[in-house]
């Protein structure tokens, strides 16, 4: 159903780079968890909703983990690779990949993918820093999820209509 050819490889590389840049563009540190607020999830949503789960997963995982590595957030690299990769895969699967996206599917994809990110980081933060620290960062991750939908969904819709995917 979801192949991986030259187009998907190219889209994965370009979208991973965009995710990395968007993640590094705005970084607001959260000292309680040594994490940071960013707008990279918007590009994860663009990749997932536009190109499907394979590109969304690779772009989300690799692009976000690369931003963590380049930004010096080394503790988070493996967790980010898995969490953001899962966010991209889930959002892409729910959205339907190349099929016509309905508003209901797009909303469900955004919410489910975003909740994967929020809950994934929450679980890791509880184990690494304790419940109190995880509760401090939780609202920031919810805002990050909201920004991902508000920015990423319209960009994806516009991109899909232009690319005729």
Is the pLDDT at 2 greater than 80? The verdict is: no
Which comes out higher in pLDDT, residue 5 or 131? 131
What pLDDT digit, counting tens, does each position of 27-85 carry?
999 888 888 899 999 999 999 999 999 999 999 999 999 999 999 999 999 999 999 99
Burial class (CB in 10 A: 0-12, 13-18, 19+), 5: exposed
Which comes out higher in pLDDT, residue 97 or 27? 27
Is the pLDDT at 98 greater than 60? The verdict is: no
Task: Parse the chain into domains and list their residue ranges.
Answer: 6-152
pLDDT at 34: 84
Q: Outline where 96-130 has alpha helix (H).
A: 103-129
Q: Identify the band that residue 150 occupies on the pLDDT scale cut at 50, 70 and 90.
A: very high
Q: Identify the band that residue 129 occupies on the pLDDT scale cut at 50, 70 and 90.
A: very high
CA-to-CA separations, 130 to 24, 33, 83, 122, 125, in angstroms, rounded? 26, 9, 19, 10, 6
CATH of domain 6-152: 1.10.1760.20
Is the pLDDT at 165 greater than 70? The verdict is: no
């Amino acid at each position: 159903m979801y192949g991986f050819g030259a187009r998907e490889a190219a889209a994965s590389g370009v979208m991973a780079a965009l995710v990395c840049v968007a993640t590094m563009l705005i970084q607001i540190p959260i000292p309680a968890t040594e994490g940071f607020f960013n707008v990279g999830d918007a590009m994860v949503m663009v990749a997932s909703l536009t190109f499907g789960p394979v590109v969304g997963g690779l772009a989300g995982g690799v692009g976000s983990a690369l931003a963590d590595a380049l930004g010096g957030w080394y503790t988070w690299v493996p967790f980010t690779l898995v969490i953001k990769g899962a966010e991209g895969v889930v959002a892409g699967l729910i959205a339907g990949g190349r099929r016509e996206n309905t508003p209901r599917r797009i909303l469900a994809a955004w919410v489910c993918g975003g909740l994967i990110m929020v809950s994934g980081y929450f679980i890791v933060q509880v184990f690494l820093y304790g419940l109190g620290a995880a509760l401090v960062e939780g609202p920031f991750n919810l805002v990050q999820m909201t920004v991902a939908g508000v920015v990423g969904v319209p960009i994806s819709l516009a991109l899909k209509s232009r690319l005729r995917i």
